[in-house]
């Protein structure tokens, strides 16, 4: 346990002291996850409670006994509470879509890289077809067909991003499949499912973890983009993208509605991307 903690400290808090330690961004992400998980306990008021006498109040204003720490929106709803609940939506959609797309893409990529032949041809040509279509365009079209909603957004994002994992898993499997221990397991009669699960997957999980980290930030942006267009989680559920969409109409007289969700999105995506870059450098011996 102590050795694992020391390894994590070396990865995210390097001793060279150059620049901002990536661990700072790990703390930012952890803080957002904590706030999202404890939103029902931390939120000052219900995020959907309207206070028409407190519409478009700037940060620090008190209206009808409610303190709007970060201001209120066009319906008098507390912006801080909606930011907390919006974090739950963004993080949940990103995590579940990364998990689902990673599972599907990894399995198909490993099967294609190990089985080869017609299986490889079919899977990788399907991957090429999906990669030839702009991801956001495919997501918009699919959501328009299936309809908006929390579950549908997760399915759509997983559908558009699984080829990325399939590509990485395929390439990594090709490099591992010819290793002596894999050939020995095959000669001893081990099934291909057992070989993939016990011998190949543990050796490619590092590369897949980097992809998943970078994809997480992208999923946050995709969810916000779909919500911004009205194709994501539907009102009155709080969502950072939907808050940005509303806030653009009030930039001149209520800048806080769009500014604070934008800052949260910026910090989350920046932090996740920097963490992914640091993991990539650490797990790639050639970059050390």
Neighbours of 288 (CB within 10 A): 7
Q: What does the DSSP 8-state code read for residue 121?
A: H
DSSP H or E segment with residue 12: helix 2-12
Task: Write out residues in the chain with pLDDT < 70, as ranges.
Answer: 1-20, 283-288
- For residue 5, the model assigns a pLDDT of 45
Tokens for 264?
């949260």
pLDDT tens-digit series, residues 73-110 = 888 899 999 999 999 999 999 999 999 999 999 999 99
Query: What is the SS3 string spanning 61-85?
Result: EEECCEEECCCECCCCCEHHHHHHH
- For residue 137, the model assigns a pLDDT of 82
d(CA 55, CA 225): 25
Closest CA to 245 of 267, 266, 265, 230: 230
Tokens for 10?
């070396």
- For residue 178, the model assigns a pLDDT of 80
In this structure, the chain runs to a length of 288
Q: Hey, what domains does the chain have and what are their CATH numbers?
A: 23-39+77-287 (1.10.3720.10)
d(CA 84, CA 195): 44
Q: What does the DSSP 8-state code read for residue 47?
A: T
- For residue 20, the model assigns a pLDDT of 61
Contact 139, 160 (CB under 8 A): yes
């Amino acid at each position: 346990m102590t050795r694992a903690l020391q390894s994590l400290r070396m990865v995210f808090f390097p001793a060279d002291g150059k620049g901002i330690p990536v661990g700072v961004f790990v703390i930012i992400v952890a803080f957002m996850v904590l706030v999202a998980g404890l939103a029902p306990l931390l939120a000052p008021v219900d995020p959907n409670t309207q206070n028409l006498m407190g519409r478009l109040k700037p940060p620090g204003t008190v209206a009808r006994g409610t303190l709007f720490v970060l201001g209120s929106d066009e319906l008098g709803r507390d912006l801080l509470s909606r930011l907390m609940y919006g974090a739950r939506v963004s993080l949940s959609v990103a995590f579940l879509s990364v998990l689902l797309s990673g599972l599907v893409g990894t399995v198909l990529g490993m099967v294609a890289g190990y089985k080869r032949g017609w299986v490889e041809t079919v899977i990788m040509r399907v991957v090429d077809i999906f990669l030839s279509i702009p991801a956001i365009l495919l997501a918009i079209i699919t959501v328009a067909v299936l309809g908006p909603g929390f579950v549908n957004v997760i399915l759509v994002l997983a559908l558009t991003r699984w080829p990325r994992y399939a590509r990485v898993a395929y390439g990594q499997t090709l490099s591992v499949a010819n290793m002596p221990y894999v050939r020995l397991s095959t000669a001893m009669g081990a099934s291909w499912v057992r070989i993939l699960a016990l011998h190949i997957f543990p050796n490619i999980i590092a590369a897949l973890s980097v992809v998943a980290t970078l994809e997480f930030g992208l999923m946050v942006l995709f969810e916000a983009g779909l919500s911004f267009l009205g194709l994501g989680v539907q009102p009155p559920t709080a969502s950072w993208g939907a808050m940005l969409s509303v806030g653009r109409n009030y930039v001149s007289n209520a800048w806080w509605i769009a500014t604070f969700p934008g800052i949260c999105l910026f910090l989350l995506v920046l932090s996740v991307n920097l963490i992914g870059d640091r993991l990539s450098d650490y797990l790639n011996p050639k970059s050390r």
